[in-house]
Structure 1
Amino acid sequence: MERCSLWLTKEEIEPERLKGATVVVIDVLLATTTLVTIMERGARRVLPVESIEEAHHLKSQLDPSSTLTGGEQGGKTVDEFDCSHLLDDYMPDRVKDKDIIFLSANGTRAIKKAKNAQKVILANLRNVNAVADYLNRESTERVYIICSGASGHFSMEDYVCTSLILS
């Protein structure tokens, strides 16, 4: 990687700067850890959303028999969703070959704001070595690392994950 920029919160994201870049989104305590785990457990796709309304709208466009909604809003489970934000709700027998529409207060919003990027990679403490290896292996000219933060504030665990990737 030739150049790496770091944004410490999702509020710092400038979407127009991301065109053609590789973006690494980090939300260690929820979204990126949960979404990567859901994929490891056999989900077909994870579809991050920014609002409850967007989740319902997207679900109405997909096959209801193979789509689940999940996540949290403000740290609380969304009552009308199929699943919460906790990993126990995403066991392999429940998510295998399903589309998972997921909402979180910080991480999914950061992922959505990064949509102009050429590639979006989700990083967490469990896959930090794989992400670092990928970035070193690819001849990526521009990399942006985005810490999702917590409600507009700096998040130490996201920064620790960033430090591990860069080291």
Structure 2
Amino acid sequence: MQLNIFFNPAELTLVEAPARDIYIVIDAMRATTTLTVMCDAGAKQILIAQTIEQALSAAQSIPGRLLCGESHTQTPPGFDYGNSPALFANLDLMGRDLILTTSNGTRAFFACPEHSTRLAGCFYNAEAVTAYALRIAREQQRNISIVCAAEYGYFALEDATCAGYLALTMQQRSPELQLHDNAHAAITLYEAYPFPKLIEYAQSARDLIAIGQQRDLDFCLQKDGSDSVPTVIKREQETGLLLLQRA
């Protein structure tokens, strides 16, 4: 059983990404944290879109779904909500269907092989998502890959350090897990940028502070606060969106 880390979704196009791997997608600030909180708040299912246009079209074709997301940290016109985990934590989403599109995180899910197992990971659900991934990997004799969403195509320090935290957690749970060089590098980054040092150096953290979203930042940096594991179930035929439910 092996663990590999991609620091940018674009790296998946440079190799023959194994279709049978379990992929943990990380956009720590904020998309995968938001997905986790949405599940905690009782969402029936969450559909993720690659673009704002795709999300708007899907919302029009199937009315009644809450349209959520952001573009460059801002809530697009016509959307019900943005991409704030702190906000969704205070909403009752029981039985609701939501659509989410973000600048980086939701796109990373689409970069993974079509029929692979895709999970949303973050600091907030680290224990839960790593335990779930390891269990499936053992049962089905598969390997695990972590995919960092990155920041508009560039390396994102918070995603890499979160990948390191997940890698370290899995290594401690399963000493037999074989780590690629990139997993060792991610662990080193996690150890080199502890909180609050990460806040000082991560551009996404500074951006959230600049727009007054300190509460979101606090949520995104909280470790192991949730046992929800948002999991891609299928691609919705009518809209082309990926459908996620709590595992």
| TM-score of the aligned structures, taking structure 2 as reference length | 0.61
How far off its partner does 1:88 sit? Answer: 4.7
Please state whether the residue corresponding to 1:150 is helix, strand or coil. coil
Please state whether the residue corresponding to 2:163 is helix, strand or coil. helix
- Conserved 8 A contact 1:18-1:117: no
Identity %: 26
Amino acid at match of 2:125: N
Instruction: State how 1:1-167 maps to structure 2 within 5 Å.
Output: 2-14=1-13, 17-62=17-62, 64-65=63-64, 67-90=65-88, 91-93=90-92, 95-138=93-136, 139=138, 140-167=141-168
- Conserved 8 A contact 1:48-1:112: no
Per-residue deviation, residues 25-79 of structure 1 (Å, max 9, x unmatched): 00000100001101110111111111111001211232x23x1111101221101
How far off its partner does 1:23 sit? Answer: 0.4
- Conserved 8 A contact 1:18-1:114: no
Unaligned runs of 5+ in 1: none
- Conserved 8 A contact 2:17-2:113: no
Amino acid at match of 1:142: N
Q: Tell me the distance in 2 between the aligned counterparts of 1:122 and 1:88.
A: 17
Please state whether the residue corresponding to 1:17 is helix, strand or coil. coil
Question: By percentage of residues, which structure has more strand?
Answer: 1
CA change 1:115–1:141 in 2 (3 A) is closer
Segments ≥4 residues shifted beyond 4 Å: none
Larger RCO (CA under 8 A, 6+ residues apart): 1
Unaligned runs of 5+ in 2: 169-247
How far off its partner does 1:17 sit? Answer: 1.9
- Conserved 8 A contact 1:16-1:116: no
- Conserved 8 A contact 2:23-2:118: yes
Q: Tell me the distance in 1 between the aligned counterparts of 2:39 and 2:164.
A: 24
Q: Tell me the distance in 2 between the aligned counterparts of 1:112 and 1:134.
A: 21
Q: Tell me the distance in 2 between the aligned counterparts of 1:89 and 1:136.
A: 31
| TM-score of the aligned structures, taking structure 1 as reference length | 0.89
Q: Tell me the distance in 2 between the aligned counterparts of 1:81 and 1:39.
A: 19
CA change 1:141–1:88 in 2 (3 A) is closer
- Conserved 8 A contact 1:27-1:158: yes
How far off its partner does 1:11 sit? Answer: 2.1
What RMSD, in angstroms, separates the aligned Cα atoms of the two structures?
1.8
Q: Tell me the distance in 2 between the aligned counterparts of 1:102 and 1:40.
A: 16
- Conserved 8 A contact 1:22-1:117: no
Amino acid at match of 2:100: F
Q: Tell me the distance in 2 between the aligned counterparts of 1:58 and 1:16.
A: 31
Q: Tell me the distance in 1 between the aligned counterparts of 2:4 and 2:86.
A: 35
Amino acid at match of 1:148: A
